[in-house]
Copies of this chain bind each other. A is one copy, B any other.
Amino acid sequence: MVSQAPKVINPRTVGRLIIYRRVLEKLQSENIERTFSRDLAVLAGVSASLVRQDLMNVATCGTPQNGYSVVELTQAVTKCLGTTKKLPAILLGAGPLGQALLHHFQNNQPQLDLVSAFETNLELVDHELHGIPVFHVSKLEEYLAQTPAQVAILALPKELAQTITDRLIAAGVCNILNFTPTRLQVPAGIFIEYNDIQMSLERIAFYADEGAY
C-alpha cells in the first residue's frame, strides 16, 4: 500500500499554475496583499472553480472569507512547480530563432541553465553567442559524454529534427522542447514539449479566414 500518491500533475494544470504564478507576481508588484479565486480566474482567463480545482495540487493556504495571501500563494505555487535548481539545457540550432531564444534567456529567468549551442553553420561555430559557446553538431556526443544535459531545445531546420532527436536520446537526453513542425518518433520515457510556431500561424489564419470567432 503506497501511502503517498505520486501526484503527477497533468500538463494543462501545470500550464495554468504557471499562469497563476505570473498573475500573482503582477499583483505583488502592485502591492496587493490578498486575492480571491474569482480575481485570479478573471486575470488568468479561466473559471473560479477551475482555479480552486488547480490549487488543490498546491499546499493550499486560503481561508474562507479572506481568500489568499498573495505572497504565501506565490510561494506555494512556486514550491509546487519546483524551481529550486536550474537544469542544464542545450540549444540545437543557432539561426534566427535560436538566437531569439538565447536573447530570451538573457532577459528572463527560465528554470533552465542554457550551457551551450550546436550549429552546422561554420560562421557561428566555435564562437560565443550571448555568452554561450557554439559547437559544431558533430561534437554533440562528445560533449554530452562530458557534461550531461537534462533538456534539449530544438530550433533547427525541420529536416534535421528527427535525426538529431535520435542522437540526443542515444546520448541520454530525456526531455526535448521542439520548436520545429516535425512530429518526433520517440521511445516511451522521453518527454516532448511541442511549441509549433508554424502551427500557430496556420491556425490563426484558419480562424481569421473563417471569421468563426
What mask results when residues 172 to 213 of chain A are scored 1 for a CB within 8 Å of chain B, else 0? 001111000101010001110101011111111111111111
Say yes or no: A204-B183 contact (C-beta < 8 A), given A108-B198, A197-B104: no
Q: Which residue of B lies closest to A151 (CB)?
A: B208
Q: Take A96-B99, A104-B197, A110-B198 as given contacts and tell me if A208 and B183 are in contact as well, using a CB distance cutoff of 8 Å.
A: no
Q: How far is the CA of A82 from the CA of B183 in the complex (A)?
A: 23
Number of A residues whose C-beta is below 8 Å from B?
Answer: 61
Let me know if B14 and A81 touch, CB within 8 A.
Answer: no
Mark each residue of chain A from 78 to 117: 1 if its CB lies under 8 Å from any CB of chain B, else 0: 0001110101000000011101110110001011100000
Residues of B within 8 A of A207 (CB): 11, 14, 175, 191, 193
State in angstroms the CA–CA spacing of A211 and B209 once bound together: 41
A171 at the interface (CB under 8 A from B): no
B213 touching A191 by the CB < 8 A rule? yes
> How many copies make up the complex?
2
Q: Which residues of chain B are near A213, meaning CB under 8 Å? A: 174-175, 189-191
Q: How far is the CB of A144 from chain B (nearest CB, A)?
A: 15
The answer to whether A203 and B11 have CB atoms under 8 Å apart is yes
Segment of A17-25, A65-73, A134-142 in the binding face: A17-25
If A87-B205, A177-B200 are given as contacts, then 8 extra A-B residue pairs at C-beta distance below 8 Å, sorted by A number, are A6-B212, A11-B203, A22-B181, A45-B183, A83-B205, A96-B103, A112-B205, A195-B197
Subset of 5 A-B contacts with CB under 8 Å: A14-B203, A82-B209, A97-B103, A150-B208, A191-B207
A residues whose Cβ falls under 8 Å from a Cβ of B:
6, 8, 11, 14-15, 18-19, 22-23, 42-45, 81-83, 85, 87, 95-97, 99-101, 103-104, 108, 110-112, 150-151, 174-177, 181, 183, 185, 189-191, 193, 195, 197-213
